[in-house]
Amino acid sequence: MSVVDEEQEKEVARAAAALSGATRVAVLTGAGISAESGIPTFRASDGLWEGHRIEDVATPRGYRRNPGLVWKFYNARRANVATVKPNPAHEALVRLEKHFAPGFTLITQNVDGLHRTAGSRNVLELHGNLARTRCTGCQEIRNRGLEPLGDDPRCLTCGEALRPDIVWFEEQLPPHVWDKAVDAAMACDLLLVVGTSAVVFPAAGLIPLAQESKTPPATIIECNLTQTNASGLADIGLYGRAGELLPRVLKHMGV
Ligand code: OAD
Q: Which residues line ligand 1 (CB under 6 A)?
A: 30-32, 35-36, 41-43, 58, 109, 127, 167, 195-197, 200, 223-226, 228, 241-242
Question: Average pLDDT in the 98-108 region?
Answer: 98
Catalytic (active site) residue 127: yes
What does the pLDDT average to over 103-112?
A: 98
Q: Are 209 and 182 in contact (CB under 8 A)?
A: yes
Give the residue from 33, 44, 45 showing the smallest Cα distance to 222: 33
Residue nearest to atom 18 of ligand 1 (CA): 241
Mean pLDDT for the chain? 95
Cis-peptide, bond into residue 216, ω within 30° of zero: yes
Is 46 a residue whose pLDDT tops 70? no
Whole-angstrom Cα distance, residue 134 to residue 162? Answer: 6
Ligand 1 centre to CA of 41 (Å) is 5
Evaluate whether 252 touches 16 at the Cβ level (below 8 Å). yes
Helix axes 242-253, 3-20, angle to 10 degrees: 60
The answer to whether 120 touches 90, Cβ cutoff 8 Å, is yes
Instruction: Tell me what pLDDT residue 18 has.
Output: 98
Residue 44's pLDDT band (cuts 50, 70, 90): low
Q: What is the CA(44)–ligand 1 centre distance, in A? A: 10
**What's the 156 CA to ligand 1 centre distance in angstroms?**
33
pLDDT tops 70 at residue 211: yes
Which residue, judged by its Cα, is nearest atom 15 of ligand 1? Answer: 32
